[in-house]
Structure 1
Amino acid sequence: MTTEHPPADGSSPPVARRRVPERLDVRPLDRFRSFKVKLGILVGAVVLVAALLTQVSIRAGIEPLLAIPLVVIAALVFTQLLARGMTSPLREITAAARAMARGDYTQRIRSSSRDEIGQLAEAFSTMASELEQTDRMRRDLVANVSHELRTPVAGLRAQLENLVDGVTEPDPAALEVALTETERLSLLVNHLLDLSRLDAGVVELDLEDIELTPFLHEVVDAATLASGGRDVRWIVDVEPADLMVTADAARIHQVIHNLLENAARHSPTGGRIHISAACLEDGDGVRIDVHDEGPGIALEDRSRVFERFQRGGYADSSGGTGLGLAIARWAVGLHGGTIEVLDDPRTEVDGDGRSSLIRVVLPQARPTT
């Protein structure tokens, strides 16, 4: 069943990774996979060196009072030489840990050892890399949220100041501008609350049987109001017309609304936005496609666009928060479904790898929550 709605009027740069300065360490024992084996070899080697030096001193006729201290000193030097190479990763880990305590997560451990210390060094480097990424995401989140909040707050403040100072009359047009900025701020706050629920993992699904034809028309009506009178046409196509899916209506409404809002923002004047739904060929789920006539998402950004504060790889002034697709992926994932960017059926766009076709797949089986 196909229905056409009439047109409405109207990173922080990457941090360079540093390595702990290398030392001139002798590591002939790195090939062994056990630290206990290394200690045994070290003890045996020291005893052997001491015995050889004692034999040499006897043959050379050196007095025992002089030979014994020389043998002990030589054995200690040999022990220190091998032990230094064995414990070098521990010193590097200590230096890196102190740097991490100061907020520097860029240091990595150089270790060619295969024993427990080498494994510890590898685990420490992995942990440092993950902490560095987490810290960068935290800083990016704070910077992005601050930027996103500043824009609607600044616009709302300026409009209200004009109204208070008498520069602008409190007519419907001026109040509509203030309302638009308030709604934009409210949308961002709601998105951030959804992300906090995502991170906390406290969201439960209220599953019900949804008839997709009236449901998608309802979402389109809401998206039409939220589009601010953009001149676009909405086309809804559901096959069969009585197609149903078991899902959380509020969450799926949020998913489709975010996709439609994103599509309307990037559609040209008079563009068409297609929303289609049908059963999968294997009958194990339902697909919902949203396709607009905008510039599309670049091939290299198809996965990254579902991350937080990403906007398809290019800057724009459309007012998006960069959170809608991230929240959509989260909500679809709660249902055990998938969301992805597919190849665009328009040959003139697909030639350079860009696509405006996003597909949501929901399983027919009820997911466990």
Structure 2
Amino acid sequence: MNKKSRSSSWFYIYPINKKIFLLSKIIIGACILAYIIASAFSGWISEFIFVFLLIILILAWDMVLARMVSSPIHEISKAAQRMADLDFSQPCKLNTKDELQTLGDNLNTTATNLQYALAQRKELTDTLSHELKTPIGVIRAYAEGLKDAVPDKQIVYSQVIVEETEKMAGMINALLDLSSLEVGTTMMKIEKFDFVELVETVAGREYVDSPSGPFHLSYSLPDEPVFVEADQTRLQQVLHNFMGNAKKFVSKNGNIHIKVSILEGLMQFSIYNDGPYLTDDVWIKFHRDKSEINRNGSGLGLAISAQILSMHKAEYGMLNKENGAEFYFKLPITQ
């Protein structure tokens, strides 16, 4: 806290302080008025009236404080206890228009976020259990088969076990990566680099060094460098996911087209492939289409890509075309 904010906090009067300050001045004025009224009488009657009025003022003070402070605090305490017991059925309802109402609203927000986090954890646990059930079952079946298998079969069974183990390891690593991105524990290393050069490098690895399946690759890239400021390693991960998906889902003898264009100070990357119609569910964790071609995927690549692009505040999306689908994202150009 700097000196200015520290000094201003000394002079700031919070709403609840204003209420108590005003109420205390009213009580003092009422005490003075009670004394004046009692002075109009003489003897024990004067003392009796003064004490009677004081008792009424004290009871009134207690009632007002209970309504202004004690009741809201009690309501907040009950709401906090319900939240501790994971009971989110009743929100904290206050209408005091002061710090206590703000505290209650913050408690409600915390309860909502906690409820969402618990739902996400349950969904993740259920999905992960389902996803790991198949490879674990395969590993168990082939491990049991190793007992009585002939040497040639033992080699085959061992290879299947290794492949299923690698599949599980890849899924878990991808899930941990996505989790670290979502909670913000992964720090981005922002640097300036030529995006066109990065696209050429990743495309070379995906389509030249490790080609798979018959398809026609074309591209449209600027002749000049296009510089952006971003996390180069993470964008390389996004490009690998986009290009890998295009290669996986392109129809036989279909087209894959990579394009980098400049639109009003923004760099737009897009990749199109002939293939099936897609829905917006492709960005959801563990999403897979119903085709056999995607049975070995983790279903996390596009979810990770979406999280990375969101951290860069980049516009991104998917568009269905006449014969296929196009994925794209945009980033500001750096001179």
TM-score for the superposition, normalised by structure 1: 0.64
CA deviation after TM superposition for structure 1 residue 188, in Å = 0.7
Equivalent of 1:218, from 201, 205, 223? 205
Quick one: which amino acid aligns to residue 325 of structure 1?
A: L
Measured after TM superposition, the shift of residue 274 of structure 1 is 2.6
Query: In the alignment, which of 322, 328, 334 is matched to residue 359 of structure 1?
Result: 328
Q: Distance in 1 between matches of 2:239 and 2:221?
A: 19
Partner in structure 2 of residue 25 of structure 1: none
- Match of 2:17? 36
Is the partner of 2:263 in helix, strand or coil? coil
Judged with a 3 Å threshold, the aligned counterparts in structure 2 of structure 1 residues 81 and 206 are, in CA distance, closer, same or farther, namely closer
Distance apart, 1:324 and its partner CA: 1.0
**1:321 maps onto 2:306 in alignment:** no
Is the alpha carbon distance of 1:192 and 1:105 closer, same or farther for their aligned partners in structure 2, counting shifts above 3 Å? same
Work out the number of aligned pairs and report it.
312
Structure 2 gaps of 5+ residues are 1-12
Q: Which has the higher contact order (CA 8 A, sep 6+)?
A: 1
More helix by share: 2
Q: What is the correspondence of 1:114-129 to structure 2 with a 5 Å cutoff?
A: 114-129=97-112
Q: In structure 2, the residue corresponding to 1:285 is in which secondary structure? A: strand
Correspondence list, 1:298-309, <5 A: 298=280, 301=281, 305-306=282-283, 309=285
User: TM-score, normalised to structure 2's length?
Assistant: 0.70
Tell me the amino acid that sits aligned with residue 205 of structure 2.
Answer: E
Q: Say if 2:174 is the partner of 1:191.
A: yes
Matches within 5 A, 1:55-94: 55=37, 63-64=45-46, 67-87=49-69, 88-94=71-77
Question: 1:262 and 1:81 mapped to 2: Cα distance?
Answer: 68
Q: Cα distance 1:211–1:75, how it changes in 2: closer, same or farther (>3 A)? A: closer
Q: Assess if the C-alpha contact under 8 Å between 1:46 and 1:78 holds in 2.
A: no
Rounded Cα–Cα distance in structure 2 between residues aligned with 1:277 and 1:268: 16
Q: 1:194, 1:251 → 2: CA distance?
A: 11
Separation in 1, partners of 2:124, 2:241: 20
- After superposition, give the CA deviation of every residue in 1:6-30 in whole Å (9 maximum; x if it has no partner): xxxxxxxxxxxxxxxxxxxxxxxxx
Which residue in 2 is equivalent to 1:228? none
Query: 2:316 maps to which residue?
Result: 340
Please state if 1:108 is matched with 2:85: no
Q: Distance in 2 between matches of 1:339 and 1:38?
A: 48
CA RMSD of aligned residues (A): 4.4
Q: Distance in 2 between matches of 1:85 and 1:120?
A: 16
Mapping 1:275-314, distance limit 5 Å: 275-282=257-264, 284-298=266-280, 301=281, 305-306=282-283, 309=285, 311=287
Of 145, 151, 156, which aligns to 2:134? 151
- Say whether the 8 Å CA contact 1:49–1:75 is kept in structure 2: yes
